[in-house]
Structure 1
Amino acid sequence: MARGSEGDPATEARVIQHLQTNTSVPVPEILAIGDDHFVAKWCDDVPDDRTLDEERARTMGAGMATLHDETAFEATGFLYDDGGELALDTHETWHRTVCEFLANRREFLEPFGYDDVADYALTFVREHPGLFDGAGDPILCHRNYLPEHVGTDGDEVVCLIDFEHAMVAPGEYDYWRTALPVFTDSDWSDDSLAEFFRTGYESVRPLPSGLDQRRPIYWMINSVAYLQALHLQRRQTGQEAARTAVDIRDYVYETIDSLRAEH
């Protein structure tokens, strides 16, 4: 079922069908699709445990790279369901797609008093059209590639679920979208696991040059998205949520100020 105005289960189902038809990525079979829901075959292979070990981190990296390697689009943009077909609202460049993404976050955050954070990020990105030069070709990004969404068996990904946030972007965006919460913001975070994830990814396809230099930019953009998720999902409330929001705001401002000094 769709939860709130941001949910779009029909598009998520079309993404899964696209992968099932056109790639080797193991996804659940779609049984039915409605305007506000879809039904998929249950996958027993997705774990409840979020923790990783070296083997699983490597397997997840290779699985993400396979998703990226087997999907290709003419331009970046946002996916939608067009009368039963998967369609793409394209933008001329990845830079313009990021600007549209941040503008949408700004609109959402305005009633909560945090639109300034998205606006500050948007202004910086608009002023620097070369930020993403060399980022790579547009592919399908999962954008929620977390351990609880990836079923593995040894060195093989056996089930991948939850494509609610999928969009078309360079693969490095998906890479950092996973690396931030999984390898730097978890109780069990370990730098060595990040290296195994990267090794697994690069065993399938190369990462672009400049990936590490662009990391702060992607983490800043993702932090704006996390600020939206904080108010949308409401897993934190009251003073706890307020403190987290302030921390995110401070991080975004500090990161942009540092990036301005570099650029």
Structure 2
Amino acid sequence: MSEELDAGTLRRMADLVHPTWTVTAATPVERGFCRVYRLAVEGNGESQECFLKAAPAETEAGVGADARILAVLDRHTSIPVPEVLGVVDDHPEVPSPFYLMTPMPGDELPYERVGWLPDEALETLARDVGVHLGELHRIDAVDSFGYVDRDPTGTLDGGRPSGAVAELTVRDGIDSWPAYLGRYVERELERHADSRFVELTPRIEAWFDERIGRLDGPFTPVLGRNDHGLHNLLVDPDSGSVTAMLDWAYTLAVPPSFDFAFAVYLFGGAFLSALPGVTDRRALVRDAMRTGYRATAPELAETVATGRSAYEALAMVRVMNDFDRLASRLPDGTENDVADGLRADAETVLENDGR
């Protein structure tokens, strides 16, 4: 986590949202790049907990958009998300943007734990993810492709976002999906050229250059979860049920199939399949997700199979790009095996026709 916030600063931040509350304790929570704290507060004779999420220093990190998306999901879907209690988009004296939200039930499991979930629990998790993606993709909120941001005209200074889709916008949206995807791939391959897998970069680039032109349309933009993984869920570790979906700051407007394929790859654990006792369970995850997806978005169910090879390959590239972060969490002595497994998977992708 970036630099910690002192107790006085946290009290001033909470006071901007709930002046009647007194912060009695604050515990930092390790959650990605942002500063997140569990706050114990008292007010009106009651004690309760909430969470404060603030952007790291000198960057917004999508925190304002995150809060608006949570409010939209809370109002328009049954996706389990925290309730946003108030947002401060800009303030001269305390770190901003930030927002307060309610706690949610469930456990946060490490990103890599997906490889060791029992089949039954993983199937339940995947079905729940499919249900929630179906609801997400049915929200009529975007009409171009790109990064989903908050409407800059709707600045808040402690109030709650309305949950209206009008509070969302697509930053510098692009009407053509192949054009947007080409730029996305280009950015990821620039990162890939700086990774330990650089020897594969030229061949992967040529593979995508040929495949993007082959993708079948028409392409309709929807809100895409994008940032999939156990680290952004709360779950019942015994049953696998999803109890909360957190961290929506990197939501993209993409075709449903793109979002679906990324989830299949990351929850299927293919990137860990070189480890002893871990298998590639994409088929199990894909089938369970489709079952859940059909329950909430039957009219979109047939579209999520298109482009699967290209989108799952792109998810693999992103794992390669972030491999150093993953490697620090792997069992001792397995880093090279997992890296070699990813190389072998990439070779398999490069040798097929990508259809």
- Fold similarity call, TM over 0.5: yes
**CA RMSD of superposed structures (Å):** 3.9
Please say if 1:32 is aligned against 2:32: no
**Structure with greater Cα Rg:** 2
Please say if 1:92 is aligned against 2:161: no
**1:116 Cα deviation (Å)?**
5.9
Match of 1:251 in 2: 345
1:5-41 CA-partner distances (Å, limit 9, x unpaired): 8944333334324434555544223333457653342
Moved more, 168-177 or 243-252: 243-252
Please say if 1:69 is aligned against 2:138: yes
For 1:230, the aligned partner's letter is: F
1:89-118 CA-partner distances (Å, limit 9, x unpaired): 322322222211111113334444645645
Kindly indicate whether structure 1 or structure 2 has the higher relative contact order, using CA contacts under 8 Å at least 6 residues apart. Answer: 1
Over 3 Å counting, the alpha-carbon distance change for 1:233 and 1:11 in structure 2 is farther
CA distance in 2, matches of 1:120, 1:6: 35
Gapped runs of 5+ residues in structure 1? none
**1:76 Cα deviation (Å)?**
1.6
Q: Specify which of 104, 110, 133 is matched with residue 44 of structure 1.
A: 104
CA contact (8 A) 1:61 1:199 kept: yes
Count of residues paired in the alignment: 261
Match of 2:245 in 1: 160
CA distance in 2, matches of 1:14, 1:138: 19
**1:244 Cα deviation (Å)?**
3.9
1:231-263 CA-partner distances (Å, limit 9, x unpaired): 456635998555544543443344133226x6x
CA distance in 1, matches of 2:285, 2:351: 30
Map 1:79-158; keep pairs closer than 5 Å: 79-81=148-150, 83=152, 84=155, 86-88=168-170, 89-112=172-195, 114=197, 117-134=200-217, 136-147=219-230, 149-150=232-233
Gapped runs of 5+ residues in structure 2? 1-33, 35-54, 90-94, 156-166, 273-277
Match of 1:11 in 2: 65
The DSSP-based 3-state class of the residue aligned with 1:10 is: helix
CA contact (8 A) 1:57 1:193 kept: yes
Over 3 Å counting, the alpha-carbon distance change for 1:122 and 1:239 in structure 2 is farther
CA distance in 2, matches of 1:36, 1:117: 40
For 1:255, the aligned partner's letter is: V
Map 1:191-206; keep pairs closer than 5 Å: 191-192=283-284, 194-206=286-298
CA contact (8 A) 1:46 1:149 kept: no
Q: Specify which of 69, 78, 81 is matched with residue 147 of structure 2.
A: 78
Match of 1:214 in 2: 307
Over 3 Å counting, the alpha-carbon distance change for 1:160 and 1:120 in structure 2 is same
Over 3 Å counting, the alpha-carbon distance change for 1:53 and 1:116 in structure 2 is closer
